[in-house]
Amino acid sequence: MEKYRKRLIDKKIENSMKAYGAINIVGAKWIGKTWAGRNQTNSEFLLMDPKGNYQNRRLAETDVSLIFEGALPRLIDEWQEVPEIWDATRYKCDEDGVKGKYILTGSTVLSKKQKEKIKHSGAGRIKKLKMYPMSLYESGDSSGDVSLQDIYNNKVKGKLTGEIGLRDIIKLVLRGGFPGSINVPFDEAIKIPKEYIQEIIDTDIDRISDVKRDLNKVMLLLRSLARNESTTVSIAKLKSDIEEIDSEDIDVKTITEYLGDLKKLFLLENQVPFNSNLRSRMRVKQMEKRHFVDPSIATSILNMTVDMCINDLNTFGYYFEAMVIRDLRIYAEANDWNIFHYQDYDGNEFDAVIEFSDGDYAAFEIKLGANQIEEAANNLVRIKNSMIEKCVKPPKTLCVICGLSNAVYTREDGVIVIPITALKD
């Protein structure tokens, strides 16, 4: 554990263990859930042995009480492989009321058959925490000069943050936030998300649904989602996209089922729509903006390279936006805040909205190049003024998150400009 790189979820785990008997850390594979659990426990029980040995799983199936024998707090990794562990953990929490006894980790939502083996919800005993890949701040690629707390408290100070090149930004997107990709040569790092997708296809997609899936169609859907990253594309348009580009047919029902499978595997992390005033005259679109849990998944599916991105910056902008949304989500949830996107039928759009605990919110535009800041700032101000005119609660703060800016500063119109490589929670 001396090599453990601190994560923003660490503090939430520590605080939750003071209030609950057990913590359940959920999220995609390979993002560091086990290591985060190990960081705060004194013993462990691994249901999925890295060497392929299923002895522990058979032991848990034979006598589940044996897995709790060990120093507390105790980590139980991939508990969903033996669903009976859930009720047993709940019982162990009720035995003496001691807090912070167990940390459970899991990479999939339970299938229907697995759910049938669980009798109790665990409410009040087991706290669920969702974990994500590494943000740029966690991976050491952001200086953290500005925090979301600074934005909320109106304490953002101007500062030169240093130059960053286009190729460097592109590499951060293609590399992604999987811990195994950090601090390794770039050519090796970009193999991690490819291997991740292959693992999903080879091992998980059939198991999660208890149904044999058409793996070719799964890949067709993944490619379509990758092409439509950071958009509000509908299921019908995903079907049309597959037909037009891949020359294959897939029905809407199949797409819906496969999307459900991918969500259960924590592969997708969509942005839900925001409405600050449900009774306002401003009609708000209710489409979710589609994202993979990490932008490197989309770029790896499409076999994107640095040169390809440089030659098509308009397309690359969608994947840069996805990286920023990934980080904003991690930073927001570290503060128990919510992240949305905003679109209305008047053509107004915020790339991201972060709603604070007191109901105020900040609106964000995301732009790759510094030459796009002026347009983005003007758009934020225009929409805010439109909201005020229509008696809609306006954003408290307006921000442009940029890729290639070299400074944090506040414009005369009040819009704050922040490089993504200077942001933290």
pLDDT tens-digit readout, 383-419: 999 999 888 899 999 999 999 999 999 999 999 999 9
DSSP notation for 19-81: T-SEEEEE--TTSSHHHHHHTT-SEEEESS-TTS--HHHHHHHH-GGGGG-SSSSEEEETGGG
Question: What is residue 280's three-state secondary structure?
Answer: coil
Mean pLDDT (the chain) is 92
pTM passes above 0.85: yes
Query: Which residues pair with residue 366 across a beta bridge?
Result: 401
State how far the alpha carbon of 285 is from the alpha carbons of 97, 256, 378, in Å: 46, 20, 22
| Pairwise CA distance, residues 43 & 365, whole Å | 45
| Token pair belonging to 77 | 């990794």
pLDDT tens-digit readout, 172-182: 999 999 999 99
Distance of CA 310 to the CA centre of its chain: 25
Question: What's the mean pLDDT in 184-188?
Answer: 96
The end-to-end CA distance of the chain, in Å, is 24
pLDDT category, 356, cuts 50, 70, 90? very high
CATH 1.10.530 describes domain 9-130: no
pLDDT tens-digit readout, 240-291: 999 999 899 899 999 999 999 999 999 999 999 997 664 555 567 789 999 9
| Pairwise CA distance, residues 376 & 395, whole Å | 15
Question: Which residues neighbour 76 within 8 Å (Cβ) at sequence distance 6 or greater?
Answer: 44, 45, 47, 67, 85, 89, 102, 103, 104, 105
| Token pair belonging to 260 | 């459900």
Give domain limits for the chain: 9-130, 136-424
Question: What's the mean pLDDT in 162-177?
Answer: 96
